Amino acid sequence: MAMTSSVIQTPIARKISTNAVIRTILANGPISRADIAKLTGLSKQTISEVVRDLEDDGWLKPVGQTDGRPGRNAIIYEINARAGLAVSIDLGGTKIAAAICDLLGNVVAETKVATDPRGGMHLVNQFSDLLVELALAAGTTADKLRLAVLGTPGVLDPVTGHINVAPNIPGIDAINLQQVFSDRMGITVIVENDVNLAAQGERWQGHGVETGNFAFVALGTGVGMGIIANGTLLRGARGAAGEIAYLPIGGDAFDPGGFTLGTFESAVGSVAMLRRYTGFGGRDASTVADLFAAFDAGDTSAVAAIEETARLVAVAIAAIGATLDPELVITGGSIGSRPELVDAIRRFLPRCTPYPPRIEISRFGNRAALMGGVGIAVQRMHDDLFGVKLRDV
């Protein structure tokens, strides 16, 4: 009986080979089979078989040929990014932002709508309609989405699936939002605190790429913090690590009214800033955008309101620094993205702490949580489909 030189790989060996090929293409971009073989150490025969299977299944696609080399031109392959699509949703008290991304993290469709003020199940209906419309804009259908990552204020109770400590969104604590939304759309739904998502977004592609110890502080309608400690998201015993809205700063820590919104949030959130502006004699500012416009115009009441807000935030960051010793604090949100406020915070910090951390404004602006959701979605798709984690690449 004639012997054959082909090597029959076991299922485990083939999975390892496939993992190596996918990881190499993700790390290097468009590449030939010969170059994959050089980088992985796998045989040319194994590479050919793996690439053929991945191409047949739609995960790889040819994008051209090598040129300028001796010998025959070789086909170049890249990941077929559209073979996997997911959605990231950032649920806020007034706005819902959503984006569909592909396997490489490219955003292929994005939208923003007003949050249904009725909350509860009305939000599930809104999410469902949003996914249908967004999928259409992306040239696909909602049933082709592989998963959804939902960022919300508050803390997810892993037992009940209810989201607690989210006073700006009514009824969200009365339903298992993750389960109901998943059942409605027929896809896996990952629910995460929105500020934790923002921190993970910075870790993925923002200012946090180069450091494993930083805090993301969101300032807007509400306030919150996501913590990356030694390269890992810090959740705490009940998943509430980073709920800085309840820091005893800016008001009477023993006032039970602070148990709802939080003492610190009540002092520096958008409502508090407008109230402070009016108290200092300001007029004609119905939104925070109006307040910053007045600041830019030299309105002394606006200057005073922003300076006082910055002073309180600086005290909070000093407390964060003393507790966590982060290398970096990244600010974001509708207020935290404003350089007028952040510049003032930088001025106050050395006056209230001997070791002020570096402060940077998020590269994503108001899209930090949305992009964090994209990063989580891409990581989950890579892991589920190929067994490859982003940090492996």
Task: Please check whether residue 346 lies inside any domain of the structure.
Answer: yes
Task: Please check whether residue 59 lies inside any domain of the structure.
Answer: yes
Q: How confident is the model at residue 4 (pLDDT cuts 50, 70, 90)?
A: very low
Dihedral of CA 321/322/323/325: which sign?
Answer: positive
Q: How confident is the model at residue 1 (pLDDT cuts 50, 70, 90)?
A: very low
For residues 43 and 164, membership in a common domain is answered with no
Give the residue from 63, 79, 95 where a domain finishes.
Answer: 79
CA distance 39 to 37: 6
Give the tens place of pLDDT for each residue, 223-236: 999 999 999 999 98
Inter-residue contact 197 to 373 (CB < 8 Å): yes
Q: Which pLDDT does position 68 carry in this prediction?
A: 55
Q: Which pLDDT does position 322 carry in this prediction?
A: 95
CATH at 126: 3.30.420.40
For residues 231 and 352, membership in a common domain is answered with yes
The arithmetic mean of pLDDT across residues 163-181, rounded, is: 87
For residues 233 and 315, membership in a common domain is answered with yes
CA nearest 312: which of 254, 227, 248, 259?
248
Inter-residue contact 230 to 212 (CB < 8 Å): yes
The arithmetic mean of pLDDT across residues 165-188, rounded, is: 89
Task: Please check whether residue 6 lies inside any domain of the structure.
Answer: no
Task: Please check whether residue 140 lies inside any domain of the structure.
Answer: yes
Measured CA distances, 21 to 156, 298, 387, 389 (Å): 37, 59, 11, 13
For residues 321 and 226, membership in a common domain is answered with yes
Domain of residue 114 covers 84-198+369-392
Backbone dihedral region of 295: left (phi > 0), alpha (psi from -120 to 50 degrees) or beta? alpha
Q: What is the DSSP letter of 333?
A: H
Q: How many domains in the chain?
A: 3
For residues 107 and 121, membership in a common domain is answered with yes
Q: Which pLDDT does position 72 carry in this prediction?
A: 67
For residues 214 and 167, membership in a common domain is answered with no
In this predicted structure, the answer to whether residue 329 has a pLDDT above a threshold of 90 is: yes
For residues 212 and 350, membership in a common domain is answered with yes
For residues 167 and 274, membership in a common domain is answered with no
Residue 284 or residue 205, greater confidence: 205
Where would I find the beta strands (DSSP E) of 68-197?
Answer: 75-79, 86-91, 95-101, 107-114, 147-152, 155-156, 163-164, 188-193
How many other C-beta atoms are found inside a 10 Å radius of the C-beta of residue 16? 14
Task: Please check whether residue 383 lies inside any domain of the structure.
Answer: yes
Give the tens place of pLDDT for each residue, 23-65: 898 888 899 998 998 998 888 889 988 999 898 988 899 887 7
For residues 278 and 180, membership in a common domain is answered with no
Task: Please check whether residue 2 lies inside any domain of the structure.
Answer: no
Q: Which pLDDT does position 244 carry in this prediction?
A: 95
Task: Please check whether residue 251 lies inside any domain of the structure.
Answer: yes
Q: Which pLDDT does position 13 carry in this prediction?
A: 78
- Percent of the chain at pLDDT > 90 equals 64
Q: How confident is the model at residue 203 (pLDDT cuts 50, 70, 90)?
A: very high
Give the residue from 79, 97, 125 where a domain finishes.
Answer: 79
Dihedral of CA 198/203/209/214: which sign?
Answer: positive
CATH at 24: 1.10.10.10
For residues 349 and 231, membership in a common domain is answered with yes
Tell me what the pLDDT averaged over the chain comes to. 89
The arithmetic mean of pLDDT across residues 279-292, rounded, is: 92
Give the N- to C-terminal CA distance of the chain in Å, as an integer. 44
- Percent of the chain at pLDDT > 70 equals 94
The arithmetic mean of pLDDT across residues 240-248, rounded, is: 92
For residues 225 and 260, membership in a common domain is answered with yes
For residues 88 and 73, membership in a common domain is answered with no
Give the residue from 26, 49, 79 where a domain finishes.
Answer: 79
The arithmetic mean of pLDDT across residues 76-87, rounded, is: 92
Q: Which pLDDT does position 2 carry in this prediction?
A: 36
In this predicted structure, the answer to whether residue 167 has a pLDDT above a threshold of 80 is: no
Task: Please check whether residue 296 lies inside any domain of the structure.
Answer: yes
Q: Which pLDDT does position 393 carry in this prediction?
A: 43
